[in-house]
Amino acid sequence: MSKKVSAKLEDYEVLGVIGTGTFGTCYKVKKKSSGHLYVWKAIKYGSMKEDKKQLLVSEVNLLSQLKHPNIVRYHDRIIHKEYATLYIVMECCEGGDLSLIINKCKRLGTKCLVTEAFVWHVLYQTARALQACHWHHSATILHRDIKPANVFLDSSGNVKLGDFGLARVLESESGYANTIVGTPYYMSPEVIKGNKYNRMSDIWSLGCLAYELCTSSPPFTGSNIKELARKILDG
């Protein structure tokens, strides 16, 4: 980073990059005053239209109101105009995400077995997170991108659902159809048909997540989007 950073950014020490996705880079950071660990997601908004910038900020403000034990806690947001970047400061989940577990099972085969109890544990706690957001008093918040990489575990094994609500803003800004969002393997039938994304679309994705936890493979696969969509519609 440049030395010309705001005081807000200077409150944190960047420890390393966790991962880079379509819409930004995640860093593990430490707050200098307390030593507490956090994750921040850096989202560049320079190429966004003004209305999308405002929508992104309002979405993050809404997410900051979500206080639930099974949702990754949003602690703060930092808008850095020089970098044209929004930094979203979030809870750090030391247990990693479910994609790490699934990938390990793929490597080890039968040597790695996800227990039925663990699958139920993930399902129950993720469903609690969805319930809290689907029926939030301020607005219905849809996740739109439930997948192993967005479901985390803290150091005690509690399930935390992350990246809530951001997909709607970021996907539409980057040119995706407003209904076709999230992970293609987890697309619901109504989304494929062009209908509006709704609460049940999130529930469908949760079922796909459970299937992949049990088998280390998504329930539907295809060599291209058209083949995948046909298989999902055929059931």
C-alpha closest to that of 143 among 199, 187, 185: 199
Q: Which of 51, 76, 97, 145 is catalytic?
A: 145
**In the sheet where 37-44 sits, what is the strand order?**
12-20, 25-31, 37-44, 85-91, 74-80
DSSP string, 64-108: TT---TTBPPEEEEEEETTTTEEEEEEE--TT-BHHHHHHHHHHH
Q: Are 144 and 197 in contact (CB under 8 A)?
A: yes
Q: Are 93 and 154 in contact (CB under 8 A)?
A: yes
Q: CA–CA distance from 169 to each of 53, 152, 231 (Å)?
A: 9, 22, 28
Residues 181, 144: Cα–Cα separation, whole Å: 6
Residue 202 annotated in active site: no
3-class secondary structure per residue, 35-57: CCEEEEEEEECCCCCHHHHHHHH
Q: CA–CA distance from 198 to each of 15, 59, 109, 127, 224 (Å)?
A: 38, 17, 35, 15, 25
**Residues carrying an active site annotation:** 145
